[in-house]
Homo-oligomer: A and B are copies of this chain.
């Protein structure tokens, strides 16, 4: 009796001339799901609260983000494959190019992406050799991205970024943001790491090679978004259920790893509009054989929303509609399928908003309503009315008769 939770990132919109990409897209399969199920709108966190994809995914998995979210750092670090533990302090990092004389903090950022460097694996290996008073974990992300984790006693995430977030500015010194020994100690260690990383990178053969080819050196690592990994009970411990997350995006993979899910990235799944949707849908169907809850994350709608690309978002929704066709043949006397989004990313706003997302729950036993189209303008008329992200999985587990009774 598994749950398939399909989260289409940033799917929903605000209307432009009364239209949204979702409302005008040709999407017979999504509409069929709406017709088969019980519909509603959902505040993934709470009404009017603009969700991140990390906080909203935590909520959709039943974890209160106000309790379990401590910044993007730990989740990105988990997403790129670092086995992060409670108490670790994690940063997101960029390989960057700096120029000038003196220490790293005297130098100026000339490119925050080091000429959009693609393969940093050799640099990462060299960085791992750095010796610090605490344990250091470094892992590459996609392109110029990386994650850095400090592990040891008495660390704190109450420290500032070293990334000046603009070219032409000097690298920033990490400062304690709290008046305590932990924050001071952490800032000192971060600054020691910044200087040592610069030295290692500046003299690395790969960078000498890049300089010879006229490419920008990846000679600094800029840190931002410090977060201390909180103690998060695993999904298995919390619910007794096996969770699988199918995603290509580091942030979502990170959420999956933080809650102890198995994370699958099928061949060709990229997190952009050219992703291999067939492979993802197939992976989801397979995963339903061996997991109780399968979260299938689709990213491109969010990117196209951030780009303000109405037609592109509409076209991708139409492609998604086509590729999810096999899911309509699932046995809904056994499987509960949920189709929804983690937040809206309206074309007009080019960022996440708190406009509620449409949600449909398909299962033989739901009270079917009269909604027959999956869109922002129809979902609210459905039998779910308006629910919250934290409640969604509980509703599904009740439907599947997995939920326990509270009381007699």
Residues on A facing B (Cβ under 8 Å) = 14-15, 18, 40-41, 45-56, 65, 69, 72, 75, 251, 346, 348-349, 351-355, 365-369, 376-377, 380-388, 391-398, 401, 403-408
Give every chain B residue within 8 A of A72 (Cβ-Cβ): 407-408
A405's contact among B346, B352, B398, B403, by CB below 8 Å, is which?
B352
A367-B355, A385-B41, A403-B354 as given contacts; A49 in contact with B408, CB under 8 Å: no
Minimum distance in angstroms from A277 CB to a CB of chain B: 24
Smallest CB separation, A349 vs chain B (Å): 6
Residue contact B51 to A391, C-beta cutoff 8 Å: no
Q: In whole Å, how far is A398's beta carbon from the nearest beta carbon of chain B?
A: 4
Residue of B nearest to A225 (CB): B408
Not counting A48-B397, A50-B398, A50-B403, a sample of 12 additional A-B residue pairs whose C-beta atoms are within 8 angstroms of each other reads A15-B367, A18-B368, A47-B391, A48-B391, A48-B394, A48-B398, A69-B406, A72-B408, A348-B365, A351-B401, A367-B377, A380-B384
Residue on B nearest A397 in the bound complex, by CB: B48
Is B55 touching A368 in the complex (CB atoms < 8 A)?
no
From A375, which residue of chain B is reached at the shortest CB distance?
B367
One complex includes copies of this chain to the number of 2
The reply to whether A383 and B380 form a contact with Cβ atoms under 8 Å apart is: yes
| Chain B residues within an 8 Å CB radius of A369 | 377, 380
A310 → B minimal CB distance (Å):
14
**How many angstroms between the C-alpha atoms of A391 and B354 in the bound complex?**
11
Contact status B407-A53, CB under 8 Å: yes
Residues of B contacting A380 in the complex (Cβ-Cβ under 8 angstroms) = 369, 382-385
Given known A-B contacts A18-B368, A354-B394, A45 and B406 have beta carbons under 8 A apart: yes
Q: CA–CA, A197 to B329, complex, Å? A: 61
Closest 8 CB pairs of A and B: A52-B407, A48-B394, A55-B407, A47-B391, A385-B386, A354-B398, A48-B395, A72-B408
Asked, given contacts A353-B398, A385-B385, A387-B386, whether A406 binds B50 with beta carbons under 8 Å apart, the answer is: yes
Query: Could you list 8 A-B pairs, sorted by A, with CB under 8 Å?
Result: A15-B365, A48-B398, A50-B404, A52-B406, A52-B407, A54-B408, A55-B406, A353-B401
For the complex, give the distance between the alpha carbons of A365 and B348 in Å. Answer: 9
Most buried by B among A395, A396, A408: A408
Given A354-B394, A386-B387, A398-B354: A405 and B51 within 8 A (CB)?
A: yes
